[in-house]
Amino acid sequence: MEVFRIRGGSPLRGKVRASGSKNATLPAFAAALLTPEPCVIENVPDLSDVRFMAEILQHLGAEVEDLGSGSWKITAGDLSSQAPYELVRKMRASICLLGPLIGRLRQARVALPGGCVIGQRPIDLHLKALTNLGCAVEVDAGDILVDAKGLHGADLFLGGRHGSTVTGTANALMATVLAPGVTHLESAACEPEIADLCRMLVAMGARIENTGGHRLTIHGVKSLGGCHHRIIADRIEVGTYCIASAITGGDVSVVGADASHLGAFLDKMEQSGLCFDQQNGSLRTFIDPSGLRPIELTTLPYPGYPTDLQAQACALACIGPGPSILTERVYPNRFMHAPELSRMGAEIAIEGSSAIVKGNARLSGAPVMASDLRASAALILAALAAEGDTWVQRIYHLDRGYEVFDKKLRSLGAEIERLPADALPETIQSNPSELGST
């Protein structure tokens, strides 16, 4: 296992290129299973989650070729309908294999993905949708078993207690593009990653109306063909660099950012003292001369403030004036970063589904543990603003979703090194058997 040593205090400056979106790539790879013809997917980020997905597709019988420079070719000839636990447990997003397997093969056996530190992540809405589409669904020995011989179009409502479901919408879409009849998806997730999936499916020959909206209409077709599809820029990665710029008092431009996907984020951050300048496809961030202001935000499904940028905003709130209030409406317990930020000198109280951040903290470097992808990013951002050295452990969480994060940060002037675990000072070496579950 590797660790990061970060020495804080250098303002980040310069330009960095946005990578392709992880959360658009994973369903796009799954969608390639809907046709025996080759699909070429471009702007794919080099991430461990993408490699996990490629491995699962290969296990299912697809040919998966990394063509280099972010292009991948997937040809799904003869397929198996079974995705076993050993592979699925590595990545929750493998749940979005259900839709294409059902659409293409009319049957699927996909292992339930298991627990997750960011909170309960049930799949009841996925299963309800499949049942309404005429599938027989049962859970057997930890696997979801679907018999989809009776698959047909239907009217589906996809809203739940916490709003719409992103991968649930992806599954329903991929199951219905090849289902006989017409499907109306009400309360569909309208995240840019879902609109991107619709774009790919339409390029493959699917008939989908109102893409990007909350009410999608799908006219099932008999078969789909191959496509060339370019993945959108990763809006969460872009937002993370905007906060990295502000938290270090720097001036960073993200090239290839699509600011139209970041409306609520830009609005909240502007209210909190960040300035943005959009020019020629790049998004520049610096702090308003009057300084930072307290942050008040609530995470919501798109177009609301994204939950995947809450932990990073929490890191910023620690150094700005307080009190800041960050409320989670998507994952009410997604505050695993708070105790680790407190170890660096932040004062954060969790009350229900809100983090109350006192602010004006002088952060100091400390050994910290990453608990999940976005918490890892938040700790690294805090470390960049802290005095002294921070050691971040369990950085494999970060490698799941940020392409060459340390290299990109170094190109902006950050002092961050990726080191083998045995480089940790002896006083902070942890015994692997003591590590909690991830």
Q: What distance in Å separates the CA atoms of residue 257 and residue 321, rounded to the nearest whole number?
A: 28
Cis status, amide bond into 84, omega within 30 of 0: no
Nearest to ligand EPU of 130, 366 (CB atom): 130
238 forms part of the interface with ligand EPU (CB under 6 A): no
368: number of CA atoms within 13 Å, CB side? 34
Size of the site for ligand EPU (CB under 6 A): 26
Q: At what angle do helices 124-132 and 98-105 cross, to 10 degrees?
A: 20
Q: Return d(Cα 70, Cα 156) in angstroms, integer.
A: 35
* Stretch touching ligand EPU by CB under 6 A, among 63-71, 123-131, 205-213, 242-250: 123-131
| Phi and psi, residue 220, nearest 5° | -60, 140
CB of 432 to ligand EPU, least distance (A): 24
Query: What is the edge-to-edge ordering of all strands in the sheet holding 367-369?
Result: 367-369, 389-393, 2-7, 415-420
Binding residues among 199-218 for ligand EPU as defined by CB under 6 A: none
The verdict on 120 binding ligand EPU (CB under 6 A) reads: yes
The answer to whether residue 245 forms part of the interface with ligand EPU (CB under 6 A) is no
Least separation, in Å, of the C-beta of 225 and ligand EPU?
25
Query: Binding ligand EPU by CB under 6 A: which of 13, 73, 121, 358?
Result: 121
Would you say 160 or 339 has its CB closer to ligand EPU?
Answer: 160
Contacts of 161 (CB under 8 A, 6+ apart): none
In the complex, what is the shortest distance from the CB of residue 381 to ligand EPU, in angstroms, rounded to a whole number?
A: 15
φ and ψ at 401, to 5 degrees?
A: -135, -5
Residues annotated catalytic, as ranges: 116
Query: Is the Cβ of residue 311 or residue 361 nearer to ligand EPU in the bound state?
Result: 311
- Measured CA to CA, the distance from residue 21 to residue 83 in angstroms comes to 24
Of the pair 23, 285, the CB lying nearest ligand EPU is at 23
Contact characters 330-369, ligand EPU, x per CB under 6 A: xx--------------------------------------
Answer yes or no whether residue 239 interacts with ligand EPU by CB under 6 A.
Answer: no
Say if residue 36 is preceded by a cis peptide, omega within 30 of 0. no
Q: Which is nearer to ligand EPU, 258 or 308 (CB)?
A: 308
In the complex, what is the shortest distance from the CB of residue 213 to ligand EPU, in angstroms, rounded to a whole number?
16
CB atoms within 10 A of CB 155: 10
Q: Which helix (H) or strand (E) holds 199?
A: helix 192-203
Identify the residue among 28, 123, 185, 252 touching ligand EPU (CB under 6 A): 123
Residue 392 and residue 384 in contact, taking contact as beta carbons nearer than 8 Å: no
**In the range 396-415, which residues lie near ligand EPU by CB under 6 A?**
401
**Burial class of residue 260 (count of CB atoms within 10 Å of its CB; 0-12, 13-18, 19+):** exposed
Instruction: Find the part of the chain contacting ligand EPU (CB under 6 A) among 119-127, 220-228, 255-263, 379-387.
Output: 119-127
Q: Which of 34, 74, 125, 174 binds ligand EPU (CB under 6 A)?
A: 125
